Amino acid sequence: MDDPLFDLGDPPAPPRAAAYRVLARKYRPQSFTQLIGQDAMVQTLGNAIRRDRLAHAFLLTGVRGVGKTSTARLIAKALNCVGPDGSGGPTIDPCGQCEPCRAIAEGRHIDVVEIDAASHNGVDDVREMTEAVRYAAVSARYKIYIIDEVHMMSKPAFNALLKTLEEPPSHVKFLLATTEVHKVPITVLSRCQRFDLRRIPAEKLAAHFDAVARAEGFEAEPEALALIARAAEGSARDGLSILDQAIAHAGIEGGGVQAQAVRAMLGLSDRGAVRDLLALLLAGDAGAALAALRRQYDLGIDPASVLRMLMETVHGITLAKVGAEVDMAQAAEEREALGEWARSLSFPVLHRLWQLLLRGYEETARAALPVEASEMALLRVIHAAQLPDPGELARRLREGEVAVAQPSGAPAPAPDVAATAALPDSLEAIRDLLAAHGRHALAEALRNHARIVRLAAPDLELSTARPIPSDFVRDLGEALRATTGTRWRVTTSDAPGAASLREAEANDNAAYEAWVREQPVVAAALAFPGAELLGPKTRGNMA
C-alpha cells in the first residue's frame, strides 16, 4: 500500500545480544586489591603515593599474563582518581566510580595514552609522542603514557625517548611494560623505577579460578583447578583462557568443570597412570612400561607430556625426601606414593632418573618419531635404574668388587719384572735394569726410541728406520757393560724392527680402554648425561 496512513515504517530490529567477553577480559583487576600475587609492589606504590614520592617513569617487567598492563592502568587510575565527590587526590585505592576511573577502565580517557611498541616502534612515533608531552593534560591530573612491549622499540626510537624520559614535564608519567627486560637499553632502565612482577603461585591461581568459576555459575573440582593452575605456569591470563575453555566444555557435557575433562582437553596424562608407569620403570618391566606408554599415546597424550609428568613425579619424590613443604593441592594417594618412594629410593638413584628423563624429554621434543624416541628413553631408564651411580661404580672397580673378565686373547697384566738371569733378554728387562742402576734418562730414551731388530744377549741390534739420538747407541753399550759386567755389541740397521715400548703400551692401552667401554656395567654408566670414563683406562691402573 502507498497510502501514508498505513506506512508503519521499518520493522523494529531485534535487540542485539551483548557480545561475550572472555574471562581474561571480564575479570581483569579493577583495583589493587584484586591484583593477586604482587603484594610487595602494591605496598611500595601505596607508600609512594601516600608520601608523594612518585617516580616520573615506571618499568613493569615479568612473564606474560601476570598483570603488567593491568597494573599500568591501575596506576593511571590511582594517580588520576578524584573520588566519588570529585575532591579526592591520588590514592592506592581508586574509587572506580568517578569519571577518570571509569574512562580509564574503559580505555577511552584522552589523557591516558596506550601505545603498542610492537607496531609503533620507530623514531617518528616517538617524536610525535615527545611533541605531545609538552602540552598539559586535558581533564586529568596527569597525562600518562603506557608503552606496552617497550623492548620492541628500535634503537633510534629509544635514543629519541631518553631525554624526555629522564626529565619529563611534571604533569607526565611514563609506564613501560615488557616481557623481555634484557632487551631494554640500560640507559632506559636507569631512568625508570623498576618493578618485577612475579609469577603467581599455583595455589593462589587455583583459588582465583575457583572464585571465577563460581561467579560464572559453575562448580569446579579442586583437582581440575590445580591442573589449570599448573598449566598456566604463573600466568593469570593463560589460566583464565584455559578455564574459559573448560567451562565451555562443561556447559556441553554437564557436571561442572571436571579434572578428567581438563586433563583430556590439555592433553595431559592421568597422574595415577604416570605413577603406575614410574613403578614399572623402577621394577624393570620393559614390556609393561612400553604398553602403558602406548595406551597413553592412543588416548591422544603427547609422549613428551608423559616424560614431563614423569620428571615432575621424580622431582616431587626428591622434594619429599628432603622434607620440603607438602603441596596440599596434591591428592592424598599421590602424597602417599611420593612419600613411599622417597623412603625407598636414594638420592643418587633419583638424580640419575632425573637426568635420564630430562635427556629423553629433550630428545622426544625434537624427534621426528616422538613416540619411538620416548620408548627408547624409557628403555634407557629401565636399563640403568638399578645400576650403581658412576661414583659407586668407580669405587667397586677400584676395590675389585666388580669382576672384570680379561679380553679374549689378551695377555695377563704383566707382573713386576725381577732380574732372574745374568743378562737381560728383553727390551723391558734392559729398561728396568738401567732404571734400577739410576740411569733413568737413558731408560726413558730406550722406552721412547728403541725398536729391536734382534736381541741375543750380549748382542743387540736396533732399527734406524726412524731417527734415534746420535749418541744413544754408544751410551747404551757403555751402560750395559757397566751394569752387567759384560761387553755388549750394540749395532744398528735400517730394518723396521718391533714397536718401541712406548708405542706398544699405547696400543695395548687403547685396546684395553675400548674393551672396558664394551663391558655392560661400564656401557650403562656411560649412558648417563655427561658421563665419561676416567679410569681405569690402562691395565696398570687396575693394579
| Distances in whole angstroms, Cα of residue 281 to Cα of each of 287, 371, 406 | 10, 16, 32
Q: Which three three-digit cell numbers place residue 250?
A: 562443561
What architecture does CATH give domain 271-384? Up-down Bundle (1.20)
Residue with cell 612515533: 125
Task: Report pLDDT digits (tens) over 6-17.
Answer: 555 566 666 665
Residue 281 to residue 274: CA distance in whole angstroms? 11
Q: Which three three-digit cell numbers place residue 431?
A: 729398561
Looking at this protein, which amino acid is placed at residue 408? S
Q: What are phi and psi of 490, to 5 degrees?
A: -105, 115
* 163-192 mean pLDDT: 91
DSSP helix/strand/coil, 490: strand
Task: Report pLDDT digits (tens) over 464-510.
Answer: 877 777 778 888 888 888 888 888 888 888 888 888 888 888 888 88
Domain boundaries, the chain: 23-196, 202-266, 271-384, 427-503
Angle at CA 360, nearest 5°, toward 358 and 362?
70
Number of H helices, E strands in the chain: 23, 8
Residue 144 — very low, low, confident or very high, per pLDDT cuts 50/70/90?
very high
Residue 306 to residue 298: CA distance in whole angstroms? 12
Give the bridge partners for 45, in sequence order: none
Query: What pLDDT score does 414 carry?
Result: 42
Residue 184 to residue 194: CA distance in whole angstroms? 12
Residue 155 — very low, low, confident or very high, per pLDDT cuts 50/70/90?
very high
Residue 38 — very low, low, confident or very high, per pLDDT cuts 50/70/90?
confident
Which stretches of 109-185 are DSSP H helices?
Answer: 123-133, 155-166
Query: What pLDDT score does 14 carry?
Result: 61
Query: What pLDDT score does 13 carry?
Result: 60
Mean pLDDT score of the chain, rounded to an integer? 82
Task: Report pLDDT digits (tens) over 309-355.
Answer: 999 999 999 999 998 876 655 667 788 888 899 988 888 888 889 99
Residue 416 — very low, low, confident or very high, per pLDDT cuts 50/70/90?
very low
**Is 65:28 a contact under the CB 8 Å cutoff?**
no
* 143-166 mean pLDDT: 92
Secondary structure percentages of the chain, helix, strand, coil, to 5: 55, 10, 40
Query: What pLDDT score does 354 carry?
Result: 92
Residue 184 — very low, low, confident or very high, per pLDDT cuts 50/70/90?
very high
Q: How many residues does the chain have?
A: 543
Task: Report pLDDT digits (tens) over 54-66.
Answer: 899 999 998 888 8
Structure letter (DSSP) for residue 345: S
Superfamily holding 23-196: P-loop containing nucleotide triphosphate hydrolases (3.40.50.300)
Looking at this protein, which amino acid is placed at residue 393? L
pTM of the model: 0.59
Q: What would the DSSP string read from start to end of 521-543?
A: HHHHHHTSTT----S--SGGGG-
Residue 92 to residue 50: CA distance in whole angstroms? 8
Helices 440-449 and 472-484, packing angle to 10 deg:
130
* In the chain, % of residues over pLDDT 70: 84
**Residue whose C-alpha is closest to residue 307's, from 366, 249, 253, 354:** 354
Q: Which fold has domain 202-266?
A: Helicase, Ruva Protein; domain 3 (1.10.8)
Residue 168 to residue 172: CA distance in whole angstroms? 6
Residue 73 to residue 240: CA distance in whole angstroms? 19
